[in-house]
Amino acid sequence: MLALLGLKPEVQDTCTSLGLMLSVVLFMGLARVIARQRLHSPKAHAFVLEFLATFQLCCCTHELLVLSEQDPANPTWPLTLIYFFSLVHGLTSVGTASNPCGVMMQMMLGGMSPELGAIGLLAQLISALCSRYCIGALWSLRLTKYHVSERSFACRNPIHVDLPKAVVIETIFSFIFHSALLHFQEIRTKLRIHLLAALITFLVYAGGSLTGAVFNPALALSLHFKCFDEAFSQFFIVYCLAPSLGILFMVLMFSLFLPRLYNNHIINKKE
């Protein structure tokens, strides 16, 4: 703490925010260890792990947004942080989705039972709301000049394009990300996490200024809960319906349309 006092105020704020993110990751990691040791029910285990992963994702993303506002003219620093946080989140939350669309994809592909899927979705919903109020409480401590509790309860509309374009962007981004998630399963874990982190960073760079590039209904609920209250239909369509459509298109393409085209091609060659 004394070492921070000799730094410039903006550097102190950055270090404090990074320290807060690190604390969240460490506490969630400790909670995962305890959950794995103490919880023997598969349902309770699934609920708690999904809750912790979503909580970590939402809290750290709130703080990443704060860091991105400290130097908005230089996007390299926030993008670097997004890449490294995506790596950390991928390494610490193996086996969880942290995203309702990921749970939907697993259920549609038969990789998860409807019961466990419902438990995962409930955990993500509760965690998204809890993370919002938790980050508001932390910001009320005014650890940095950017930590203002009121900002977590205000609507900061990230949609800067018209509704059809916003829907198309979130649908395409969800399609791309979950397609990669599905087809990277054959790649060894360490390389897969790097590839996914790079993809997330690219998508945020491409669409962050347009819709925020969220493609995660639980994260959108945590970040923009007040906006859902003020303009529910718009935000529900963009941040819930559009990513779900991306998942639906992806599943239909890779499990129905492409196999059918391939089979027709084989039949035509034989004839």
pLDDT tens column, 39-80: 889 899 999 999 999 999 999 999 999 888 777 667 788 899
Count other C-beta atoms under 10 Å from residue 264's C-beta.
Answer: 10
Q: Would you state the structure tokens that stand for residue 46, as one six-digit string?
A: 């699934």
pLDDT at 264: 56
Contact 170, 246 (CB under 8 A): yes
Specify the 3-state DSSP secondary structure of 184.
coil
Phi, psi of 40 (to 5 degrees): -110, -10
Asked, for residue 183, whether it belongs to a domain, the answer is yes
For position 147, which CATH number holds? 1.20.1080.10
Which portions of the chain are predicted below pLDDT 70? 1-7, 9, 72-73, 149-153, 257-271
Asked, for residue 3, whether it belongs to a domain, the answer is no
Asked, for residue 2, whether it belongs to a domain, the answer is no
pLDDT at 94: 87
Q: Which helix (H) or strand (E) holds 118?
A: helix 114-139
pLDDT at 159: 93
Cα(44)–Cα(167) distance, integer angstroms: 35
Q: Which amino acid, 24?
A: V
Contact 103, 178 (CB under 8 A): no
Helices then strands, each counted (H, E), the chain = 13, 0
pLDDT at 100: 95
Asked, for residue 255, whether it belongs to a domain, the answer is yes
**Helix 114-139 to helix 100-108 angle, to the nearest 10 degrees?**
170
Contact 16, 4 (CB under 8 A): yes
Asked, for residue 155, whether it belongs to a domain, the answer is yes
Cα(4)–Cα(11) distance, integer angstroms: 8
Contacts of 47 (CB under 8 A, 6+ apart): 119, 120, 122, 123
Q: Which of 144, 140, 203, 208 is nearest to 174 (CA)?
A: 203
Strands of the chain, DSSP E:
none
- Kindly list the distances between the CA atom of residue 58 and the CA atoms of 31, 79, 124, 128, 145, in Å, as whole numbers in the listed order: 16, 17, 10, 7, 21
Asked, for residue 51, whether it belongs to a domain, the answer is yes
pLDDT at 160: 93
Range of the domain at 148: 9-266
Q: How many domains does the chain have?
A: 1
Cα(153)–Cα(167) distance, integer angstroms: 24
Q: Whole-model pTM? A: 0.91
Asked, for residue 74, whether it belongs to a domain, the answer is yes
pLDDT at 43: 92
Asked, for residue 250, whether it belongs to a domain, the answer is yes
